[in-house]
């Protein structure tokens, strides 16, 4: 894997073929003038120390050195740079409901997009906390394991949609269990927070039990309700245009409503809290205060991997070749002359 940081400098490589053409033209012009001056064999005998190969070698070194310097300016990044850092914070897992009911547009632009906005705004408020992301509907799916890379977390967050999980429905208990078992390390003394975002339309009866089990393992759950109690239909779109609405088995348009009661019970079962998610500022302030009131723990050494800049090697080798070109004379080298590697000595 590699990355070119300053790609604009690659245009400088067009200088190379131009210089090659100029060099060939100068060599042709010199040879033409020598023919006009006299016999070429006689001219070579009059200047026996002049090499016909050295100018080509010098030009090749110059062009190669210039090429390496240009590549150095581009700053290619490759390999791995490993840094060990220590952080203080808590472990936070965001569990986002991606069931079809989250496509209802009773909040703008819809419940799912509103949920993503809330998570993104909450991530912006974090400092050194580790975060993970879970998507759930009929089952739960680990979108992103625990990480301190917030940019990557936002990238994965934006890719979430109802299509990433085949089984439909809303099984909040599976999201809680996944966070409890797979995301939070029971041996880790770091304080743990599960932020569960949903419209609360749970199709199972095990959510409260799952929340109680999570609380026993030191996990506090904050639930955020997205949608309205009045509710709205679930639009079925094609190419961004609403074609119809979700219907039930009796061919009636389904009206999905936010279930505040179940979300509050889940939060209370883990000694957490519930907050209305329709106001972004209210949610951010509430969660930010909850995090500030939670004791921070120092993480162990964490390895942060990144692409490492390699420009210095290209610049160093480029300048070395230019320096070599400067000290390389166009006269024949005596020991090379004796070896006659380039057939410059005619018998």
Q: Which of 24-33, 224-233, 264-273 has the lowest mean pLDDT?
A: 24-33
Are 270 and 296 contained in the same domain?
yes
Contacts (Cβ under 8 Å, ≥6 apart) of 223: 196, 197, 198, 200, 263, 264, 266, 267, 272, 273, 274, 275
Residue 144 and residue 109 in one domain: yes
In a domain, 346, yes or no: no
Look at the block and give the residue holding tokens 């949903």. 198
Instruction: Name which residue leads in pLDDT, 40 or 271.
Output: 271
Within a domain: residue 17?
yes
Pair 251, 323 in one domain: no
Which residue, among 173, 43, 160, has the nearest Cα to 103 in the 3D structure? 160
Whether residues 279 and 140 share a domain: the answer is yes
Residue with token string 């200047």: 47
Q: Can you tell me the mean pLDDT for 186-208?
A: 84
Tell me the percentage of the chain whose pLDDT exceeds 90: 34
DSSP 22-61: HHHHHHHHHHHHHHHHS-HHHHHHHSTTB-SSHHHHHHHH
Q: What is the pLDDT of residue 51?
A: 63
pLDDT of residue 78 exceeding 90? no
Considering the domain architecture, whether residues 96 and 77 belong to the same structural domain is answered as no
- Establish if 345 belongs to a structural domain: no
Whether residues 144 and 181 share a domain: the answer is yes
Residues 212 and 273 in one domain: yes
pLDDT tens per residue, range 254-279: 899 999 999 999 999 888 999 999 99
Q: In whole angstroms, what is the distance from residue 213 CA to residue 206 CA? A: 11
Based on the structure, what is the number of domains in the chain? 2
Same domain, 245 and 151: yes
Domain-located, residue 344: no
Residue 59 placed within a domain:
yes
Q: Which residue has the higher pLDDT, 323 or 330?
A: 323
Say whether 314 sits in a helix, a strand or coil.
helix
Domain residue limits at 215: 87-300
Give one DSSP letter per residue of 159-221, joined into a string: T--GGG-SS-S--HHHHHHHIIIIIS-TT--S-EEEEEEE------S-HHHHHHHHHHTTEEE
Residues 131, 245 within the same domain: yes
Q: Which of 125-139, 158-172, 223-237 has the lowest mean pLDDT?
A: 158-172
Distance in angstroms (rounded) separating the CA atoms of residues 320 and 62 = 10
Report the pLDDT averaged over residues 70-81: 79
- The pLDDT assigned to 310 comes to 80
pLDDT band at 304 (very low <50, low <70, confident <90, very high): low
Cα separation values, 250 from 169, 235, 241, 247, 254, Å? 18, 17, 25, 8, 10
Mean pLDDT, residues 176-204:
86
**Cα–Cα distance for residue pair 201/109, rounded to 1 Å:** 19
Q: Is the pLDDT of residue 42 over 50?
A: yes
pLDDT at residue number 117: 95
Band (286; pLDDT cuts 50, 70, 90): very high
Furthest-apart CA atoms within the chain: distance in Å: 106
Predicted pLDDT at 261: 92
Judge if 171 and 23 occupy the same domain: no
**Residues with Cβ < 8 Å from 31, sequence gap 6 or more?**
40
CATH code at position 171: 3.40.50.410
Answer whether 247's CB lies under 8 Å from 253's CB: yes
102 and 118 share one domain: yes
| Same domain as 174, residue 253 | yes
pTM here is 0.62
């Amino acid at each position: 894997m590699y990355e070119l940081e300053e790609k604009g400098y690659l245009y400088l490589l067009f200088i190379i073929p131009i210089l090659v053409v100029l060099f060939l033209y100068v060599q042709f012009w010199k040879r033409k003038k020598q023919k006009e001056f006299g016999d070429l064999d006689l001219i070579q005998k009059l200047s026996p120390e002049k090499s016909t190969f050295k100018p080509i070698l010098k030009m090749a070194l110059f062009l190669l050195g210039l090429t390496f310097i240009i590549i150095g300016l581009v700053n290619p990044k490759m390999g791995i740079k490993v840094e060990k850092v220590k952080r203080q914070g808590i472990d936070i897992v965001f569990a986002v409901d991606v069931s079809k009911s989250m496509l209802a547009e009773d909040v703008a632009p819809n419940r799912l997009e509103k949920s993503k906005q809330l998570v993104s705004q909450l991530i912006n408020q974090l400092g050194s906390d580790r975060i993970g992301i879970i998507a759930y509907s009929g089952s739960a799916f680990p979108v992103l394991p625990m990480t301190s890379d917030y940019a990557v977390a936002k990238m994965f967050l934006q890719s979430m949609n109802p299509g990433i999980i085949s089984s439909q429905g809303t099984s909040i208990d599976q999201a809680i269990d996944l966070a409890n078992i797979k995301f939070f390390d029971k041996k880790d003394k770091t304080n743990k927070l599960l932020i569960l975002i949903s419209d609360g339309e749970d199709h199972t009866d095990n959510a409260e039990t799952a929340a109680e089990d999570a609380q026993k393992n030191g996990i506090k759950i904050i639930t955020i309700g997205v949608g309205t109690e009045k509710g709205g239909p679930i639009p079925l779109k094609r190419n961004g245009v609403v074609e119809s609405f979700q219907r039930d088995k009796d061919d009636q348009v389904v009206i999905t409503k936010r279930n505040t009661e179940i979300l509050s019970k889940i939060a209370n079962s883990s000694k957490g809290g519930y907050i209305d998610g329709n106001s972004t500022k209210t949610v951010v302030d509430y969660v930010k205060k909850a995090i500030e009131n939670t004791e921070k723990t120092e993480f162990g050494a964490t390895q942060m991997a990144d692409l490492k800049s390699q420009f210095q090697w290209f610049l160093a080798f480029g300048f070395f070749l230019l320096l070599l070109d400067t000290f390389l004379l166009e006269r024949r080298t005596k020991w090379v002359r004796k070896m006659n590697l380039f057939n410059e000595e005619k018998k």
